[in-house]
Structure formats: C-alpha cells, structure tokens
Structure 1
Amino acid sequence: MEYSWEKMTAEQLRERAGLGGLVLLPVGSIEQHGPHLPTGVDALLATEAANRVAAQLAESLSVVVAPTLWWGLAEHHMRFGGTLTLSLPTYHAVLRDVCRSIMRAGFTRIAIVNGHGGNISALNAIVNELTAELPVTIAVTTYLTAAADDVADILEGQSGVMHACEGETSMMLAAHPELVVLGRLSDAHGPECGLQSDNVPVYLWRSFEEITESGVAGDARLATADKGEKLLAVCAQRLADLLAAPETWHRNATIDRQAAATSVGS
C-alpha cells in the first residue's frame, strides 16, 4: 500500500482523509555530522522511521507520510560549516502553514516525527500553539524516545543516541550505507553528551564546537549495520504501537480540554 503523500493522487489523499487518516510529518535538520556522515542524517532517519511506522500502521488504519521538512533549528552547529538553519519564528511559521495545509486537505490528526534533538523544545512549544490555533489534533514525538530502554540495550558504548555516534552511524549503515564515509570512522568519536538542557539546573546556549572538536558526541567506531537495523526496527515498532493506541490520542485530547478550561477560567 502506498502511503507517501507526494506519490499519491489528490483523489487518493481525499479518500484517506475521509477514512480518518493519520498523517505522519517527518522533521529533521541539515547539519554537520562529523567527518563520516552526511549533513542530512536527521532528516533521512526521521523519514526512515516515519516510513517504517507507516508500514506497520497501514495494516490497521489509514495513514499517510507527508514530505519531510528537512530544515530545522541548528544554530549550535553553524560554526562547523555545512549546516542550514532557520530562525524560530520562521520554523514556527513553516510548521503552521504545513499543518494548516494538511488540515485543509481533510485530515484531522497529525503526528510530527522528529529526528533532531535541537528541535525538541521548540516543537513542544509550537505544537501547543498550533493546537490552540487549528481544529486538528497534533502530536509530536522524537522517534527514539518511545524505545529508549531498548536503544540502551542495543548500544554497546552509550546509554542512548547522541550525535553522529554509535547509534546514528549504525542506523545510517542500515538505511543508507552508501552515504557513510567508512574511511573516516576512525576519526568519528568525541565526548559523550546528551541534550544541553538535560539535567542542567541553569541552561545556557553553547556552540557544539565547544563540546567536541570532531563534531561527534559518542563513538561511531562501534557502529554496525546490524545494530542500526535493530534500532530502527524497535523504534518503529514502539512508536507504531503508541500511535495506534486510542488511549494515546484520547489522553491528549482530555489534557487539551482541561488546559483550555483552565485558560478560560484564569
């Protein structure tokens, strides 16, 4: 079954919308990923994850994968070169217009599938705003989060996916091996670090260049295609299970209504 928006006719999309279809909207970033990976890793892997989720969901519900929004918020990578970034107001405006277009095509549920850590805080806030503006249900997830425990079990040298690391490099070896520069894997390592806002009592913006000279956080030398396939498979399975569960959407709708009531009463 076809589920890529750009490969379907308008008639086919209207039919999916009429069946209460769910639209997956992959979002990523174009930014440096060390000496061994292409700049499009986050967009490529978000797309791969969304397609795998759709393949599983298509057996039980109507689903469409929208074209990937490859741009994102990557100011912290700009000093390395090779990076494209948007300002926050532009990113908000682009997402608003895309979600509004999806709504006008007849769909009422959108799940933004994110592949870039630098987008997370902004996406959470933007989805709050869009939910208030548009009469559709919008969810956001970073595809790795639903399977965090499984990811930790698969990786050998890290507790989670970092940047251009064992995890991301393994997934690229599984999904796009032709884009991995194998001859530079020996240089693809750096200090371990998670999101800059994780467990930090006072947050300050930092360039990624201040964290790692190589542009890598973690150790890509441990990457294998087998690990990558396992990571992609379990992330897709866990996320598909969540998105297929009625309580996922019901709980969000309940929270939205409670938030709206509180706002009106304050």
Structure 2
Amino acid sequence: MSEVQWNRLTAAQIRALAAQDAVVLLPVGATEQHGPHLPTGVDDFLAAEVCRRAALLASEHTGVVVTPSIPTGLSEHHMAFGGTLTLSLPTLHALLRDICRSVIRAGFSRILIVNGHGGNMTALNALTTELTAELSTPIAFASYFGAGREVVRDTLETQDGLMHACEGETSMMMAAYPELIHGEHLAEAHGPHITLPAESTEPVYMAVSFDRITKSGVAGDARVASPQKGETMLSGCARALADIILRDPWAR
C-alpha cells in the first residue's frame, strides 16, 4: 500500500488495516525555537517524516499506519527564547491517552509512540507505562534518533548524536524541507555541545532554561550540515524504526 498516513485514508481503508492487526505509529514532536536558521516545527516535522518513511518500508511486510503527529510537547526549557509552545505533563498524558484510546477503539492493538524531541524522552518512558496499564494494551515507545543511533553517530562529523538545531537536525531538514532553511543565518548556528537529559551521566538533575546553556539557541554546530548527511540519517533512522516494527515487540 502506497498511502500510510491515517488522515489521508478513508474510514473503510482504516477499518481494513485494523482487521489486519496493523501497527499504528504515533509521532510526537515539539514546537520550539531552533536557533536563527530553522523553523520551530523541526522536531514535529522530522518525527513525522521518519515515521512516514518507516511505515512505507515496513508496509512491504505488514500493515502500518501513521497517525497525525502531536506537534507540541514538553518545551518549558525553551520558553525564554519566544516562538515556543509547550504542554504540561498532565496535558501530554491526557492527549496521548485519548489518542491511543481512539486508536484502540478503531480496532488496533499495536501502537508505537515515536518521539522526535529530546525533552520528551523521560516523560514518554513513564507515560508509556501508565498508558499500558490504563488502556490494558501494550504500548511501545521509541525515539527515532535512538532507534537510528548508529547511523546518526556514523554520519555526523562534529558530534556523536543529535543535540539541538545542530549538524544533525539541520542536515535532515536540508534533505526533507530545504525551503524552510534560513541559510543566511547558518554562520551563526553553533553553540556548546550538550547531552540529552535521558542520556546524562550526571548524578543530579535540575531544570535549566536553554538560554543559560546557549545564547544562540543552538547546541552543536550546524555550519557543517549537508542534505547528503540528512538523507543518510533519515533513511537510516527509518530503516531502524521499520526493523523495530517487524521484530514485533508487542508479542513479548
């Protein structure tokens, strides 16, 4: 099947996918500042794009459908820059619960929440456990950049993984949405290297506003980004996500 996006299918087509026990991908992103050169929708756009590509790959072997993405996540740490929308944790929980409940009522039993924003990671790990208990259905969770960690690491020149508005995110945006890049600001698009909170080895966690970490709004170095790197990472992350789908973690 060439169409995998829920909101581009008819109700009859979706019922047919449910009858096949198709996998449902639920992309979750964020709407927040991404430095001087990228739009605020980066995390939403990239999560949805990787899900679309992964679904097309996996649909050669099993039924897959991608829900409309959730474009807003947990972005309190970016609010100081402006241009950012954020949810509270209870709101994100309620939103995910209602969407997952609707998916289950539509006849599906295999849901994979796919995250595109580092600030969502720890919350979505916990919420996945809550949703599995509340809905009596096994919900799975993955960050696309975690699934594709190896290809991201092997492709980037200046960093080992995604940071923020960095070489990696900028490269993927160049590949998927080149019309949204503000190339005249690329020279300013660099900042300190950071570690995602969920991957930190620090013994103590404290909330820190992102403007205290980087004045440019960028963590990492976007100046060495390229569309070729971006296509390699998008394709590799999609393949890694498709492999997760085909391993069927819900069958455990």
TM-score range, shorter chain: over 0.9
What code does the residue aligned with 1:189 have?
Answer: H
Q: Deviations over 1:186-207 (max 9, x none)?
A: 0000000021351110000000
CA deviation after TM superposition for structure 1 residue 2, in Å: 1.3
List gaps (5 residues or longer) in structure 1.
252-266
Taking the aligned partners of 1:2 and 1:236, their CA distance within structure 2 comes to: 16
What code does the residue aligned with 2:121 have?
Answer: I
User: Is the 8 Å Cα contact of residues 110 and 250 (structure 2) preserved in structure 1?
Assistant: no
SS at match of 2:197: coil
CA deviation after TM superposition for structure 1 residue 238, in Å: 1.2
Change (3 A) 1:196 1:135: closer
2:233 to 231, 254, 263: 231
What code does the residue aligned with 2:237 have?
Answer: C
Taking the aligned partners of 1:168 and 1:84, their CA distance within structure 2 comes to: 19
How many residue pairs align between the two structures?
250
Taking the aligned partners of 2:150 and 2:46, their CA distance within structure 1 comes to: 19
CA deviation after TM superposition for structure 1 residue 123, in Å: 0.5
CA deviation after TM superposition for structure 1 residue 249, in Å: 2.7
Give the RMSD, CA atoms, in angstroms.
Answer: 0.9
The answer as to 2:178 corresponding to 1:177 is yes
What code does the residue aligned with 1:19 have?
Answer: Q
Q: Deviations over 1:77-119 (max 9, x none)?
A: 0000000000111110011000000011110010011100000
User: Is the 8 Å Cα contact of residues 24 and 66 (structure 1) preserved in structure 2?
Assistant: yes
What code does the residue aligned with 2:129 have?
Answer: N
Q: Deviations over 1:2-28 (max 9, x none)?
A: 111001111111110010011000110
User: Is the 8 Å Cα contact of residues 44 and 69 (structure 2) preserved in structure 1?
Assistant: yes
SS at match of 2:159: coil
Taking the aligned partners of 1:30 and 1:150, their CA distance within structure 2 comes to: 25
Q: What corresponds to 1:219 in structure 2? A: 221
Q: What TM-score does the superposition give when structure 1 sets the normalisation length? A: 0.92
User: Is the 8 Å Cα contact of residues 45 and 115 (structure 1) preserved in structure 2?
Assistant: yes
CA deviation after TM superposition for structure 1 residue 250, in Å: 3.0
Q: Deviations over 1:21-80 (max 9, x none)?
A: 110001100000000000000000000000010010110001100000001000000000
Q: What corresponds to 1:2 in structure 2? A: 3
Runs of 4+ in 1 over 3 A off after TM superposition: none
User: Is the 8 Å Cα contact of residues 50 and 237 (structure 2) preserved in structure 1?
Assistant: yes
Residue range with higher mean Cα deviation, 149-158 or 167-176: 149-158
Structure number with the bigger relative contact order (C-alpha 8 A, sep ≥ 6) is: 2
Q: What TM-score does the superposition give when structure 2 sets the normalisation length? A: 0.97
User: Is the 8 Å Cα contact of residues 29 and 69 (structure 2) preserved in structure 1?
Assistant: yes
What code does the residue aligned with 1:229 have?
Answer: E
- Percent identity, please: 57
Q: What corresponds to 2:204 in structure 1? A: 202
SS at match of 2:39: coil
Taking the aligned partners of 2:8 and 2:251, their CA distance within structure 1 comes to: 31
SS at match of 1:144: helix
